[in-house]
Amino acid sequence: MEMITADLIAERAAVESYRDMIASIGPNDPTTRRVLEQILAQEAEHAENLTSLLMGERQSER
């Protein structure tokens, strides 16, 4: 469970980093922005999956 928690923390940090990059690029580079938005969506999905996994683990421990 500790490894999953560490992975979730890393995914959330990555999500925040990609959001910051997208915000700093703004409309100046639409191609890079689209690529970063796609990566952001994948990272957010990974974070959601890890959250679900952790919630399932916590419920099964009860």
Q: What's the rounded Cα separation, in Å, for the pair 48 and 8?
A: 9
Segment 2-50, tens digit of pLDDT: 999 999 999 999 999 999 999 999 999 999 999 999 999 999 999 999 9
Which DSSP helix (H) or strand (E) runs through 28? none
Residue 62 binned pLDDT confidence (cut-offs 50, 70, 90): low
The answer on pLDDT for 61 being more than 80 is: no
pLDDT value of position 30? 97
Residue 24 CA to its chain's centroid (Å): 18
Query: What are the DSSP calls for 6-44, one per residue?
Result: HHHHHHHHHHHHHHHHHHHHGGG-HHHHHHHHHHHHHHH
